Amino acid sequence: MNRVGVSVRGAPGHGPLSRFSGWKRRLRSAAMVCCTIGMVNLAVAQAVPSAGDAPSPMGPHERSVGEWLVRLQQASRVPSFVGTFVVTSATGAMSSARIWHVCEGDVQLERIEALSGIPRSIFRRNQSVVTFYPQARVAITDQRDAGGAFPNLLTANSSASIADHYVAKELGQSRVAGFDADVVYLKPRDDLRYGYRIWSERNTGLVIKTQTVDAKGAVLEQSAFSELQLNARVPAVKLTRMMERTEGYKVEKPSRVATTPAAEGWALSSEVPGFRSQSCYRHTADQSSGMVQWVFSDGLATVSLFMEPFDAHRHTAEGVAAMGATHTMTKRLPDAQGPWWVTAVGEVPPGTLKALASRLQRKP
């Protein structure tokens, strides 16, 4: 629980010294402002002045939520790693994938080979994502919104918002996938969201394990590296080439267009604490009846509201369903121009879905 001094943690506490200096060299050549712990803390001081206890350069120090988030996010810029990633949910579902990750300068490259389910390879170059389905010979290209996995997202604003709704409690140290990790619990301040236990690799901050925890302390979902090599050799050029190799594949794009809730005639009567509108899409597939997706986030948890015209044949069952941390809620919404069917999906307690869906209003 008692934190080791920040300046001490900046030094390689374990592991071969050559490895450490190796990645320092690469960092410098990439001219990145990150990863060395002192600088991260410096960034924290600038980015999150309101986030509570200012980092003292010496002596024991417990990080605030904002500091933790900056540290965790910066860690996605570790030069490279290779590992096996396992996701399990409380319902017993388990999935795993082999991960290759490399960061050069501002470019993050990732290759994910699914080890369970339908064979597929997912490549990510910053926000560009290509998913190859070798059996169907289909490749889907997509641009993701700048989610948290990417640099530059964590503005002082969103970080402060997270700090409004979560408290960081350090839980000590533990060992995961052969690495010493600091364990922190991001505890929700209300019952509209779940808590997250996070294992962060001591030297780099890389998140090597997370658990989603409900109010009773039960683990709803867990993601973890079962095996991990930091600073493994991952040739970025090779990953880029693999990502671009779409010959023989039918390349498809997801058919959705960005829009605004107002343009689609939707509004919320009042805000659900912490959950702010992130984006809105209209799905445009062949006969998909103009479904609108409105995305909310409190910085950690995300909720999607799907609105479509009510169809008595298909929309039979109102209610709530759960799969690990993910809940869905379906609801019929009466309207003068004909009823709507609302489906709320998110990694939040059912009450949050209900709160959002019940505030949904038609404002054409």
Partner 1 sequence: MDTQIRVQSSAERCSALMDGQLPGNEVGAAIASMGVEAEGRDCWQVYHLIGDVLRSPDLALHGRDMALAQRVAAVIANEPVTQLVPTPVAQVQSEPSYIARPAANDGVFRWKMVAGWASFAAVAAVGWTMVSGIGPRSTTGPQLAQSAVPAVAPSQVLAVAAPVPAAAGAGEADASAPVMLRDARLDELLVAHRQAAGGAPMGGASGFLRNATFEGHGR
Closest C-alpha to 321, from 117, 91, 135: 91
302 near partner 1, rule: CB under 8 A: yes
Tell the residue number behind the tokens 């069952």, with chain if given. Answer: 317
Identify the H or E element spanning 81: strand 80-89
Residue partners of 344: CB distance under 8 A and separation at least 6: 303, 304, 305, 306, 327, 328, 329, 330, 331, 353, 354, 356, 357
Residues 147-186 that bind partner 1 (CB under 8 A): 147-150, 153-154, 158, 162
Using CB under 8 A as the binding rule, the residues of this chain from 276 to 295 that contact partner 1 are 278-279, 281, 283, 285-288, 293, 295
Given candidates 133, 183, 282, 309, which one binds partner 1 under the rule CB under 8 A? 133
Among 61, 63, 193, 327, interactor with partner 1 by CB under 8 A: 327
The mark string for 18-57 relative to partner 1 (x by CB under 8 A, - otherwise) is ----------------------------------------
Cβ at position 58, least distance to partner 1 in Å: 27
What is the rounded CA–CA span in Å between residue 345 and residue 342? Answer: 10
Question: HSE on the CB side for 148, CA within 13 Å?
Answer: 16
CB of 283 to partner 1, least distance (A): 5
Contact, 137 vs 248, CB < 8 A? yes
Should residue 317 be labelled a site residue for partner 1 when binding is judged by CB under 8 A? Answer: yes
Nearer to partner 1, 18 or 223 (CB): 223
Output the DSSP codes for 180-200.
EEEEEEEEESSTTS-EEEEEE
Q: What is the DSSP string of 93-124?
A: -EEEEEEEEEEETTEEEEEEEESSSS--EEEE
Contact status: 272 vs partner 1 (CB under 8 A) = no
Choice between 56 and 157, CB closer to partner 1: 157
Q: Rule CB under 8 A: which of 196-235 touch partner 1?
A: 196, 198-199, 201, 206-210, 214-216, 218, 223-225
Candidate list 265, 320, 335, 358; residue touching partner 1; CB under 8 A: 320
Q: Which one, 17 or 33, has the nearer CB to partner 1?
A: 33
CB of 200 to partner 1, least distance (A): 8
Q: Three-state secondary structure along 38-64?
A: HHHHHHHHHHCCCCCCCCCCCCCCCCC
- CB of residue 220 to partner 1, shortest distance in Å: 8
